[in-house]
Structure 1
Amino acid sequence: MSSKTPSEVKAAEEPHSEIAGLLQQMGAAPAPTFESLSPEGARKLIRQMFPVPENPEPVGDTMDLSIGDEGIPIRVYIPEGEGPYPTLLYIHGGGWVVGDLDIYDATCRAITNEADCMVVSVGYRLAPEHKFPTPLEDCYTAAEWIFETAEPMQIDTENIAIGGDSAGGNLAAAVTLLAHERDGPSFDHQVLIYPVTDHSFDTTSYEENAEGYLLTKPAMEWFWEHYLRDDLDGKSPYASPLQAQTLQGLPSATVVTCGFDPLCDEGAAYAARLEEADVDVSHHHYDDAIHGIAQMLVDPMDLTRGRELISDIATDLQQTFN
């Protein structure tokens, strides 16, 4: 699928009916904004927004482990059937400040079943307690762990992908850049779900979707402020992958963008740059969707567009693994 330039990723006239209803419900009972809260307050808010279901979607098995010198938590989702398993390293979103393994449990379970692959979800350390590049280095440690423990973990080293959503998409893209630079772990594919790719707020999608669609421009400014040590960090390609001098030699990519998302244009721009660098890109654009739909898989937020997103990225992963 040819990638699209920012000028081609327009929003629909209005959000999907399910999403419009959700936004209306949220507007009727408004919650505090992220930027009005402390980091810990924001973490409590996100846990309230995405509670862990009593009966999660079943998978073959799960394991909670800790890795590296820092004891980074990971959760391994094992599909039905016998290994070795094609594997996705999944990095959760949350603006580098919020989010954890539990909040993204439903997403990882759905990918495990839809793509019929093992998913390794990494609970990297969060900002502002651990600013850039610590979260990135934690994710890189997880990438190395996957390859180092492939045999006992029944991981198929010929079929390993990396992915994530939002800030997790940012970290996934940065890990592939860092691995290429260090001649480190070699991934077969990257899945970037509405990724943060640039420390900049001057795109058309930031202007048109600054407020009203769950993720806001003020919230993103707050997230970046907590993540970076200073503005100079924002110019690093490992914080802003779109600013990398070259993207040549990177693994093939699935890039997801949503029409009513401040990050839409920078995601499309990254897909276009990957394609310009002769990287095979599959760009899925949901013109009537908002940021965050990959998490919205549990009642009362079990969205059609969220399920379609999981199905689309699972198809891409299966094509890569086969």
Structure 2
Amino acid sequence: MSIETRILPELREVYSQFPGFQLDENLEWSRSLVSAAPVKRSEHVNTTSRKIPGARGEMLVKIYEPAGRTDDLLPAMLWIHGGGYVLGHPDMDDELCEHFVQTAECVVVSVNYRLAPEHPYPAAIDDCYAGLVWMTEEAELLGIDVNRVAIAGASGGGGLTAALALMARDKGGPSIILQMPLYPMLDNRNITPSSHEITEEGAIWNRMDNLAAWNMYLGEENDVSGESPYAVPSREESLAGLPPTYTCVGQLDLFRDETIEYVTRLAQAGVDVEFHLYSGCFHLFEIFVPEAEVSQRAVHGYMDAMARALHPKKGLC
């Protein structure tokens, strides 16, 4: 049965119109498919860009904060954009980051980590860790409460979120109150049933996309780096000691099974976890079709989870 026939009717038209990525054949064209479209910026959020010390030289970050904020310290969230480790830029998530600021009453820092294949592993995770360290070390400058810091990302950014949680745990900090790896890219082995289900040309992230992206990210040291949990989070033997976790995935997402396995292992390791599986939904469904009821439900779910985690004294948890 075609995947398209199983997609919810309100999502089907957009899915059928997507041309599909061509990572091996035309990477720059594929990158253009996720370029930021002009959005109406919120008057309730101030956005600034600045260069900070990255793992290898300067790195761009975008900082989103409530307009007209007081001197009170706010919680903070590090956002990691998606793109399978090979695509994307913080600009494409401006509207989403503004939504987090307003819903979770927080400061958001979005990192422009280096992309593969120009910069294979460990460039991206090293940049993300550098961004988290900078954000917490510059807490006074940013006006944030270091006791209420979360990390979040989607797709490849979700994989980096999971890897960052492991790295912060193993390095003894910075402290993280919640990790939110949304439909994360966790496993380079591509052996799950769902990794074999999404094969149609034009699918939004199919098996060929995933194989190509992992090869670009792990580079010539694939055999070595593919064993590191900071490169491939599913390889980590122990998930104990990770922060509380929120995640979701569509039932028709290539990452469905590795997400479910990750959630199961977190729960078995004693980590508090909340998980949602959305029937009839493909990868990035809520981004591609934001007006759909199921998309609004999914976004409300993860926005509410972030607000509850960052403001526990308000009785939301």
Given the two structures, how large is their TM-score scaled by the length of structure 1? 0.88
Question: Which residue is equivalent to 1:74?
Answer: 61
The one-letter code of the counterpart of 1:141 is: A
Aligned-pair distance for 1:220? 0.7
SS at match of 1:78: strand
Which of 263, 267, 276 pairs up with 2:255? Answer: 263
Aligned pairs for 1:292-307 (under 5 A) are 292-296=284-288, 302-307=291-296
Q: Contact 2:10–2:292 (CA<8 Å) still a contact in 1? A: yes
Q: Secondary structure at the match of 1:66?
A: strand
- Size of the aligned set, in residue pairs, is 302
The residue number in structure 1 matching 2:31 is 43
Identity of aligned residues (%): 31
Contact between 2:188 and 2:211, CA under 8 Å: does it hold in 1? no
Q: Deviations over 1:153-189 (max 9, x none)?
A: 1111121100100110111111111111111211000
Gaps of 5+ in 1: 1-10
**Residue aligning to 1:286:** 278
Within 2, Cα distance between the matches of 1:104 and 1:242? Answer: 26
1:313 & 1:32 partners in 2: Cα distance?
27
* Residue identity in the other structure for 2:76: T
Picking from 49, 72, 78, the partner of 1:64 is 49
Alpha carbons of structure 1 residues 32 and 187: separation in structure 2 relative to 1, 3 Å: closer
Q: How many Å apart are 1:308 and its aligned residue?
A: 2.3
Instruction: Say if 1:122 and 1:142, in contact at 8 Å, map to a contact too.
Output: yes
**Residues 22-74 of structure 1 deviation map (CA, whole Å, 9 limit, x = unaligned):** 12333xxxx36323533323212322xx5232x23443211111111521111
| Counterpart Cα distance in 2 of 1:237 and 1:66 | 28
Once the two structures are superposed, residues 272-291 of structure 1 have per-residue CA deviations (whole angstroms, 9 ceiling, x without a partner) of 11111100000011122111
Query: In structure 2, what is the equivalent of residue 248 of structure 1?
Result: 240
Which deviates more from structure 2 when the two are superposed, residues 195-204 or residues 207-216? 207-216
Structure 2 unmatched runs, 5+: 313-317
The residue that corresponds to 2:199 in the other structure is 210
1:91 and 1:121 in contact (8 A); partners too:
yes
**In structure 1, C-alpha distance between the alignment counterparts of 2:13 and 2:156, rounded to whole Å:** 26
SS of match in other structure, 1:68: strand
* Separation of aligned partners in 2, 1:23 and 1:293: 9
- Give the secondary structure class of the aligned counterpart of 1:119: strand
The partner residue of 2:87 within 80, 84, 98 is 98
Alpha-carbon offset, residue 260 of structure 1:
1.0
Q: CA RMSD in A?
A: 2.0
Equivalent position SS for 2:140: coil
Rate the CA distance shift 1:13–1:38 in 2: closer, same or farther, 3 A: closer
Residue type at the aligned position of 2:212 = W
Aligned to 1:46, the other structure's residue is in SS state coil
Give the AA of the match of 1:238.
Answer: Y
The corresponding residue for 1:199 is: 188
Q: Does 1:238 align with 2:230?
A: yes
Q: In structure 2, how many angstroms separate the alpha carbons of the residues matched to 1:16 and 1:266?
A: 22
Change in CA separation of 1:294 and 1:78 when aligned onto 2, cut-off 3 Å: farther
CA 1:59–1:86: 2 relative to 1, 3 Å = same
Q: What SS class does the counterpart of residue 87 from structure 1 fall into?
A: strand
* Counterpart amino acid of residue 219 in structure 1: D
1 or 2 for the larger relative contact order (CA 8 Å, sep ≥6)?
A: 1
